[in-house]
């Protein structure tokens, strides 16, 4: 179960608030739209045939109402951000949002999803980034309808909203570094793979821009080579992160492309305000100095099976650790 959301929320929130360029009103923006994977999925996978689901205990053990589909014991990063933005209610999953709710935003994230269409397919159904963007486009059409078929009014409304987009982790964990199931690792060098991912990512982000997205926090990929799953599989001692030309090295290449995308979009897209969120650096700081962030355990899951509690995710009704506040994962 991830506690990552809590410890990175402040830094991510600063980037989102910066992207919003807001005053002190509450709520500070009219709507908040979210795209991503299991780190921010809040229930979209509950309604599809997938192994990547978290709508059972002990997920949600510290969340009012219990399990919702969040891969966390409590709130996710975007939940915290929604509260900081002044929303009375958390942003609903797109699968449950309709009508007037869409004027306040929606969460399109899907666990196991990636930028590439095939990413995560071994886990069953999931909504890829292009699928999430298609769902956003459908939501925009409904917003236009709600506002009296006034496209100009819809554009003005969406232009004041905040968007967070965080994709790419699964394109490495559940694609490139799974050679038994995917051929990308043999067909691409890490550099070429980063280029291909960034190019596909950019196309979908431009589609979002065409449908009104202006204030976008683009979240980089974190140190996934330090996650319990990768430590269990690839670390010699279960502590040292998977570095160099392995996972973290490849992720750094991709993140550098994202910085370039942000600079490019802000330069060439009128009215665009993209912000890059350096989650990799945030993770690096946490892992180097966990105590400064109120943590004690960064190399094992609070709930899971096998080495580092990371070989299998938290099973239904499994008993998690009692000191959840001390775990990064």
Phi, psi of 72, rounded to the nearest 5 degrees:
-160, 160
Annotate 10-36 with b (16+ C-beta within 10 A) or e (fewer).
ebbbebbbebbebeeeebbbbbbbbbb
Residue 16: the pLDDT is 62
Helix (H, G, I), strand (E, B) or coil at 164: strand
- Residue pointed to by tokens 């096998």: 306
How many other C-beta atoms lie within 10 A of the C-beta of residue 175? 23
Q: Which residues pair with 2 in a beta bridge?
A: 72
Residue 309: the pLDDT is 87
Residue segments in the chain with a per-residue pLDDT below the cut of 50: 1-8, 22-24
- Overall pTM > 0.95: no
- Take residue 236 and report the two structure tokens written for it: 């010699």
Instruction: Specify the CATH number for 4-326; select among 1.10.15, 3.40.720, 1.10.4160, 3.40.50.
Output: 3.40.50
Q: What is the pLDDT of residues 209-259, one digit of tens each?
A: 999 999 999 999 999 888 888 888 888 888 888 775 589 999 999 999 999
Alpha-carbon gap, residue 208 to 236, rounded angstroms: 42
Cross-sheet strand order for the sheet of 105-107: 105-107, 32-35, 162-165, 215-219, 273-277
Residue 222: the pLDDT is 93
Residue 23: the pLDDT is 45
How many CA atoms lie less than 13 Å away from 318 in the CB half-sphere? 17
Alpha-carbon gap, residue 164 to 107, rounded angstroms: 10
Residue 229: the pLDDT is 86
Residue 322: the pLDDT is 92
Residue count (the chain): 329
- Take residue 25 and report the two structure tokens written for it: 């009103």
């Amino acid at each position: 179960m991830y506690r990552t959301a809590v410890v990175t929320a402040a830094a991510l929130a600063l980037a989102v608030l910066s992207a919003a360029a807001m005053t002190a009103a509450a709520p500070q923006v009219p709507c908040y739209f979210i795209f991503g994977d299991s780190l921010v999925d809040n229930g979209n996978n509950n309604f599809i045939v997938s192994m990547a689901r978290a709508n059972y205990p002990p997920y949600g053990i510290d969340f009012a109402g219990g399990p919702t589909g969040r891969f966390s014991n409590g709130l996710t990063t975007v939940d915290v951000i929604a509260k900081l933005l002044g929303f009375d209610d958390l942003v609903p999953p797109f699968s449950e949002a309709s009508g007037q709710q869409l004027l306040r935003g929606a969460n399109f994230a899907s666990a196991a999803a990636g930028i590439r269409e095939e990413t995560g397919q071994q886990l069953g159904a999931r909504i890829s980034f292009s699928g999430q963007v298609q769902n956003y486009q459908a939501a925009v059409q409904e917003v236009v309808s709600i506002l009296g078929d006034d496209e100009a009014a819809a554009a003005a409304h969406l232009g004041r909203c905040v968007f967070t987009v965080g994709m790419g982790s699964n394109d490495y964990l559940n694609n490139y570094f799974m050679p038994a199931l995917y051929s990308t690792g043999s067909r691409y060098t890490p550099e070429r793979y980063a280029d291909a991912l960034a190019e596909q990512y950019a196309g979908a982000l431009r589609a979002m821009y065409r449908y009104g997205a202006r204030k976008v926090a683009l979240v980089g990929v974190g140190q996934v080579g330090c996650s319990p799953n990768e430590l269990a599989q690839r670390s010699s001692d279960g502590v040292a992160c998977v570095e160099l030309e392995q996972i973290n090295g490849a992720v750094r290449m991709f993140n550098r492309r994202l910085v370039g995308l942000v600079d490019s979009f802000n330069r060439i897209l009128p009215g665009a305000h993209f912000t890059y969120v350096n989650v990799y650096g945030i993770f690096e700081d946490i892992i180097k100095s966990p105590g400064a962030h109120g943590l004690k355990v960064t190399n094992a899951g609070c709930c899971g099976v096998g080495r580092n509690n990371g070989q299998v995710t938290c099973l239904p009704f499994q008993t998690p650790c009692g000191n959840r506040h001390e775990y990064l994962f």
